[in-house]
Amino acid sequence: MDLALVLYPDMTALDLVGPYEVLAAQPDVTAHFVAATPDPVRCDSGLTIVPTTTFDALDRADLVVVPGGSGWARVLADGVVAAWLAGVHPTATWTASVCSGSTLLAQAGILDGRPATTHWALRDELAKLGAVVSTERVVVDGSVVTAAGVSAGIDMALTLAGRIWGDERAELTQLVIEYDPRPPYDSGSPDTASPELVAFARGVLTGS
């Protein structure tokens, strides 16, 4: 199985690395880090990832994963990622996104009229792009799987692992990576965080 992990400037590292750790460990998976050029790509936290191939060189994949990141608006304006997604999605078995990566799927026409999720601060933006926005952490609609913000990418990848390789393999993967979240705070959602914290975070994330 060819797994294409999309890279672009100012993407969020965990959006990519979380699903990568889950999916690349499965049997007979070949992971490709695909970008517009072969030049290293800097994530929004400073981590740099080197592509293994380019959009021009890779025209198909069985599974496509699109991360989000603080650079999502610039990537939308550029249009290069969406154009590649529009080309590879029709022959992909699965197309998935994490966080604001769903906006790129939407720009490619993949989410028109479909249920999808994204980071809580970008739900209105995703709706404007034609998706039927869900507040669920992971949404599966046919061959398209979307995840909410950042850490939800691990949930999405485990969901895919179960669909593709079976529940037992997915449970084994969860155990091996010791994915047993017990956060020290209960502020991981706008439903549980204080209104003041939600407002501040929204301003930081959207520039409003």
82-119, pLDDT tens digit by residue?
A: 999 999 999 999 999 999 999 999 999 999 999 999 99
Distance (Å, rounded) from C-alpha 201 to C-alpha 193? 10
Q: Classify residue 40 by its DSSP letter.
A: -
Domains, in order of start, for the chain:
2-182 (3.40.50.880)
pLDDT for 206 equals: 84
Please state the pTM of the whole predicted model: 0.96
Residue 181, Cβ density class (10 Å: 0-12 exposed, 13-18 middle, ≥19 buried): exposed
Cβ atoms within 10 A of the Cβ of 207, count? 8
Q: With bands split at pLDDT 50, 70 and 90, how would you rate the model's confidence at 207?
A: confident
Choosing from 3, 99, 104, 116, which is the catalytic residue? 99
**43 is a catalytic site residue:** no
